[in-house]
């Protein structure tokens, strides 16, 4: 029997993994659950991703694109007189106002790095990329502090189920910026 050419299969598997984690959490992720969700043979998931950690790395890379898309779409931080605190507070507001399930999923995958060392480089990459972007407008230590503060604000909103207060975020971020 000839193999069916399916160039999108790997991507469908990643998308299915994201849906499985979104519905069942990381504990519900297995090659079998992903294969069923992607409607592919079980062997396809293990062919493309030898381990679940490899699959989670691919899913985290894709999930990280959510915030990156907000940044790219905003076009902020272009001018020298940019209100950095205002821009960052606005970005968080746009991101948190989007698909809440997607934001929660991004953080679930991001925090999975605590227990899964294979995910740590991808999680660190996201923080480093954002800090690098912010370093164009402030010193590197402040940029890293801003990333940590933004993470904290977003996690508080997600964990408390509260609403995002852009004014509060702008005020707190401004306190960190020299």
Can you give the CATH number for the domain in which 35 is found? 1.10.10.60
**Quick check: is 2 in a domain?**
no
Stretch 42-62: mean pLDDT, rounded? 92
Same domain, 32 and 97: no
pLDDT at 3 over 60: no
pLDDT at 1 over 60: no
Overall domain count for the chain: 2
pLDDT at 75 over 80: no
> Of 15-29, 64-78, 89-103, 160-174, where does mean pLDDT reach its minimum?
64-78
- What pLDDT, on the 0 to 100 scale, is given for residue 2? 43
**Quick check: is 1 in a domain?**
no
Work out the burial of residue 12: count CB atoms within 10 Å of its CB; fewer than 13 is exposed, 13-18 middle, 19 or more buried. Answer: middle
Same domain, 76 and 29: no
Same domain, 73 and 34: no
**Nearest CA among 62, 90, 55, 97 for reference residue 75:** 90
Same domain, 42 and 77: no
pLDDT at 107 over 50: yes
- What pLDDT, on the 0 to 100 scale, is given for residue 103? 82
Cβ neighbors of 95 (< 8 A, separation 6 or more) are: 66, 67, 70, 103, 154
Question: Residue 51 is part of which domain span?
Answer: 9-60
Stretch 150-177: mean pLDDT, rounded? 94
Mean confidence (pLDDT) of the chain: 87
More confident residue, 79 or 128: 128
Q: Kindly report the pTM of this predicted structure.
A: 0.79
């Amino acid at each position: 029997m000839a193999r069916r050419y399916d160039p999108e299969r790997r991507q469908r598997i990643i998308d299915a993994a994201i849906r499985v984690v979104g519905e069942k959490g990381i504990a519900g992720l297995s090659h079998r659950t992903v294969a069923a969700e992607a409607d592919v043979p079980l062997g396809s998931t293990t062919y493309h991703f030898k381990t679940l950690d490899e699959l989670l790395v691919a899913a985290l890379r894709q999930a990280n694109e959510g915030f990156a898309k907000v940044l790219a779409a905003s076009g902020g931080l272009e001018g020298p007189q940019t209100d950095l605190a205002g821009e960052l507070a606005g970005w968080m507001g746009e991101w948190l106002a989007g698909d809440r399930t997607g934001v929660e999923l991004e953080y679930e995958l991001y925090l999975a790095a605590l227990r899964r060392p294979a995910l740590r480089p991808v999680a660190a990459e996201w923080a480093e990329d954002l800090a690098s972007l912010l370093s164009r407008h402030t010193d590197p230590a402040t940029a890293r502090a801003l990333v940590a503060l933004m993470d904290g604000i977003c996690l508080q909103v997600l964990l408390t189920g509260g609403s995002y207060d852009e004014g509060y975020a702008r005020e707190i971020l401004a306190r960190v910026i020299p």
